[in-house]
Amino acid sequence: MNIKAGIIIQARISSTRLPKKIILEVEKNITFLDVLLERLSRLKMRVPIILATSNLEVDNVLEEYSKKHQIKFFRGSEQNVLERFIKCAEENNLNTIIRVCSDNPFIDMESIMDVYENYKGEDYLSYQINHLPSILTHYGFFSEMVSLNALKKVSKENVVDCFEHVTNCIYTNPNKFNVRFIKKTIENKNIRCTLDTKGDFENLRKLYFDIVKDKPEIGYLDIIKYIEKESRITKSMKKIIKENSK
């Protein structure tokens, strides 16, 4: 199979719980979107990186980030994110997508490489963390890989619930799609490195200054080890997880 893969970063400015969360300054002229894009630039793989956002005026500012980090930029539907990914992939001649959420500034690069190197043409490949698809966890370290054909197949079914979350109708239907998970276990279930609330921002900001800024390639296991030594962060993360549990 001729795999033409690329990283598509899903990003938007509008957020109900923490408006403009990905472009709030962590320090002068540095945002968590900068942190994420800097980490991705260190990947030891030659694939295009595309920042994909909506066609809303509020998201105009994101084009400046694509220019700053010298990556591609794409705009598409605000509501139908599935369609946005399909059109972005087609425009950039991709048949396989490595999907990264901009809410995860400390994305783990080795895990991206692991998924990329283990991909064998499945419709969907990602991690299963403690028996749960990584996309459904609050760890914020992992990406997923999905074929363009699978996304198109979902789009043809025209189910509204599939439009926003892009891959949910694929990994929950292994009878329809070729789905594979790489299993991992993380003993500590109170780790939250995804950005959604003000509390998340403060926790990630502290982690940035304490360990990530000076070690921009630091992996998720070392981040977890540090968190476990910091009781204040641990307590805060545990509280936020409880408050945001569905």
Q: Is residue 236 one of the residues assigned to a domain?
A: no
Q: Say what the pLDDT of residue 63 is.
A: 95
CB 126 within 8 A of CB 182: yes
> CB count, 10 Å around CB of 210?
15
Q: Say what the pLDDT of residue 57 is.
A: 92
Q: Is residue 217 one of the residues assigned to a domain?
A: no
Q: Is residue 107 one of the residues assigned to a domain?
A: yes
Q: Is residue 241 one of the residues assigned to a domain?
A: no
Q: Is residue 186 one of the residues assigned to a domain?
A: yes
Region of residue 89 (left: phi > 0; alpha: psi -120 to 50; beta: else): alpha
Per the structure, the complete domain to which residue 116 belongs is given by 5-190
Q: Say what the pLDDT of residue 137 is.
A: 93
Q: Is residue 199 one of the residues assigned to a domain?
A: no
Number of domains in the chain: 1
SS3 227: helix
Task: Say which DSSP state 108 is in.
Answer: -
Q: Is residue 210 one of the residues assigned to a domain?
A: no
Q: Say what the pLDDT of residue 45 is.
A: 87
Q: Is residue 215 one of the residues assigned to a domain?
A: no
Return d(Cα 51, Cα 63) in angstroms, integer.
8
> CB count, 10 Å around CB of 49?
19
Q: Say what the pLDDT of residue 70 is.
A: 95
Return d(Cα 172, Cα 174) in angstroms, integer.
6
Domain containing residue 81: CATH number: 3.90.550.10
Q: Say what the pLDDT of residue 1 is.
A: 64
Q: What is the pLDDT along the chain (246 residues), one digit of tens a residue?
A: 688 999 999 999 987 778 899 999 999 999 999 999 999 999 988 899 999 999 999 999 999 999 999 999 999 988 899 999 999 999 999 999 999 999 999 999 999 999 999 999 999 999 999 999 999 999 999 999 999 999 999 999 888 888 888 999 999 999 999 999 999 999 999 999 999 999 999 999 999 999 999 999 999 999 999 999 999 999 999 999 999 875
Closest listed residue to residue 128, CA positions, set 172, 95, 84: 172
Q: Say what the pLDDT of residue 135 is.
A: 93
pTM equals 0.94
Return d(Cα 236, Cα 185) in angstroms, integer.
22
